[in-house]
Amino acid sequence: MPVPFSSPDPEPAVPSRRELNKAATRQAITDAALGLLRSKGPGNFTVEDIADAAGISRRTFFNYFGSTDAALASIVHGFLDNAIQQLRLRPADEPMLESAQAALVALADPKAIAPLAELFTLTQQSPLMSHTELEAWDHCRAQVFTVARERLAGTPGAQDELYVHALAGSIISCGKAAMEVWFNRRGPDLSPASLAELRKLLIDAMALLGAGFNTTASPSATRSS
C-alpha cells in the first residue's frame, strides 16, 4: 500500500476490492481443479475436493461454476475468447478467412496455448471432458458467426444466413482440426519448432477451406515444411 489515494493500480476502471477477490477466487478454483486433474486424473475427484483445495466451501464453488467440467473448460473459454478478441482487431474489410488465419496464428504462442495444451493432454484419452469442451468450441463458433454477420452485412450475395452459419462453422471446424492434428503429433511439446508447426497447420487449414478442398489447385497447402 504505497499510495494513500484511491488507485495503486494503473488499470482502467479501477478494479474494486470485491472484483479482485472474485477474480482471485475464480483463479484459485481453476488452479485447484487443474492441480487435481494432474494428480488424480479426470473423473477421480469431486467438487468437494476442488473446494477444499481452493480454500472455499462447496457451495461457493457452485456460485462460480456449474460443474467440475465447467471449471476446467474455463481454460478453453479463456483461450477462445482471446482468439475472438484477436479476430475483432482485424480490419473489417479483410476477407474472413484471412482474419481467422491471422487471429489463430497470433494465439499460437506459448503463453496463451500452454494451459490449453496441458488440459488437452490430460483429458485426451478420456471422454469425460468432451461435453464442456464441445460447448466451448460451439460458443466460439457463435461468436465467429456474430463477427462474420457484422462484417458481411453489406456484402452482396453473402447476406444469407446460410452463408454466415456455414462459414463460421467451417472456420471453427478447421481450427479444431489443426489443433487436433497438432496435439496428436506433438503432445504437450511447446518448443518453437512445435509451435511453428502449429502455425503452419492453422494456415494450411484455412487455406484448404479457402480452396474448397480442391487438392489439385492448392500449391502450398498440404505438404509439410
Partner DNA sequence: GCACGCACTTACACTACGTGCAAGTTTGCA
Partner DNA sequence: TGCAAACTTGCACGTAGTGTAAGTGCGTGC
* Contacts with DNA, residue ranges (CB under 7 A): 16-18, 21-22, 25, 46-48, 55-60, 62-64, 66-68
Nearer to its own copies, 90 or 141 (CB): 141
Q: Of 9-17, 58-66, 105-113, 165-173, which part binds its own copies (CB under 8 A)?
A: 165-173
Q: Of 30-38, 40-48, 53-61, 177-185, which part binds its own copies (CB under 8 A)?
A: 177-185
Query: Judging by beta carbons within 10 Å of its beta carbon (0-12, 13-18, 19+), is residue 33 exposed, middle or buried?
Result: buried
Q: Is 70 in the site for its own copies (CB under 8 A)?
A: no
Residue among 16, 215, 220, 225 that touches its own copies (CB under 8 A): 215
Closest CA to 178 of 126, 137, 214, 217: 137
Residue 213: partners with Cβ closer than 8 Å, 6 or more residues away: none
Q: Is 198 in the site for its own copies (CB under 8 A)?
A: no
Is 106 in a helix, a strand, or coil? helix
Give min distance, CB of 57 to DNA, in A.
3
Whether residue 164 contacts residue 148, with contact meaning beta carbons closer than 8 Å, is answered with: yes
Distances (CA, A) of 110 to 97, 123, 139, 179: 23, 19, 23, 14
Q: Is 161 in the site for its own copies (CB under 8 A)?
A: yes
Ramachandran category for residue 96: left, alpha or beta (phi over 0 → left; psi -120 to 50 → alpha): alpha
Binding partner selected for residue 48 from DNA, its own copies, none, CB under the kind-specific 5 to 8 Å limit: DNA
The grid coordinates of residue 141 equal: 463458433
Query: Judging by beta carbons within 10 Å of its beta carbon (0-12, 13-18, 19+), is residue 181 exposed, middle or buried?
Result: middle
Binding partner selected for residue 84 from DNA, its own copies, none, CB under the kind-specific 5 to 8 Å limit: none
Q: Is 204 in the site for its own copies (CB under 8 A)?
A: yes
Q: Is 71 in the site for its own copies (CB under 8 A)?
A: no
The contact set with its own copies (CB under 8 A) reads 96-97, 130-131, 134-135, 138, 141, 155-158, 160-163, 165-170, 172-174, 176-178, 180-181, 184, 201, 204-205, 208-216, 218, 222-223
